[in-house]
Amino acid sequence: MTDPYAVIGHPIGHTKSPLIHRLFAEATQQAMSYVAIEGPLDPDDGFARAVRQFAADGGKGMNVTAPFKLKAFALADARSERATLAGAANALKFESGRIVAENFDGIGLLRDIEVNLGVPLAGKRVLMLGAGGAARGALLPFLAAGPAELVVANRDVSKGCALVAQVGSRGTGLRACGYSDLATRGRFDLVVNATSASLTGDLPPVPPGVFSPEGTAYELAYGKRLTPFLRLARNAGVHGVADGVGMLVEQAAEAFAWWRGVRPLTAAVIDRLTVPLD
């Protein structure tokens, strides 16, 4: 008997999660299966029905990707502190008829940056572009890493300010601003694109002056080579550019450990999935 797991999203055809978890299961000798589910986009909340049906059929857990992370959070019977403060869930566990929600996006992102890329955040100036679910999941782990300043830039400044107000007591140096304000903010050691712009080949309206040539530019989207954001960083003289494949694998490893009680090694999986940026 194998324990069923899945990832749900829309669209879902691009997902690498089944491959990642198959490799994890093989490496750790776990008896489990893992499939991708195309979640319905309907006004009658077919997402909730799909999740509950998977659990009723014996499913043990699910990863959740766009655009369902907020719905997954709302659907849960219990939520971790990380998920609660992020207001979003990217992993679910089914226990005794209950749905438990977690959010490992921020932990996975931080581990990729600090451990895999060797870029500690302590004492650094960090710029986060976007104030949606990806940014919300990252703020708490980032604040815990001790940056000197963490600025959230968003088109809708009020949304960024609301996010800062929600989590600001968890750390110092957290600020929100609009893109038009970035020209006077100086250079940042780390700039993270947490917007969805790169998924459609677009570029957030960020001035090239925010990049430090000695710093790092990180794109949450993965497998798209040099996105407009990363190209802007390269043209600004930044040598340290990275996409989100490491974050993808690291957050998957956190979910795997939550479900199975063992955390798999990630380096070989990251290497297998890495697409050269150039």
What is the set of active-site residues?
69
Residue 222 marked ligand-binding: yes
CA atoms of 137 and 152, how far apart (whole Å): 13
Structural tokens at position 88 = 């979003």
Residue 179 marked ligand-binding: no
CA atoms of 8 and 159, how far apart (whole Å): 27
Residue 2 marked ligand-binding: no
Residue 106 marked ligand-binding: no
Residue 131 marked ligand-binding: yes
CA atoms of 76 and 73, how far apart (whole Å): 6
Residue 171 marked ligand-binding: no
Coarse DSSP helix, strand, coil percentages of the chain, rounded to the nearest 5 percent: 40, 20, 35
Residue 15 marked ligand-binding: yes
> Considering only CA atoms, which of 144, 133, 116 is closest in space to residue 216?
116
Residue 132 marked ligand-binding: yes
CA atoms of 244 and 234, how far apart (whole Å): 16
The β-bridge relationship of strands 240-242 and 98-102 is unpaired
Residue 130 marked ligand-binding: yes
| Residue tagged 């380096």 (tokens) | 267
Residue 251 marked ligand-binding: yes
Residue 215 marked ligand-binding: no
Residue-wise DSSP of 48-101: HHHHHHHHHTT--EEEE-TT-HHHHHHH-SEE-HHHHHHT--SEEEEETTEEEE
Residue 237 marked ligand-binding: no
Annotation: binding site for shikimate: 15-17, 65, 90, 105, 222, 251
Annotation: binding site: 15-17, 65, 81, 90, 105, 130-134, 220, 222, 244, 251
Annotation: binding site for NADP(+): 81, 130-134, 220, 244
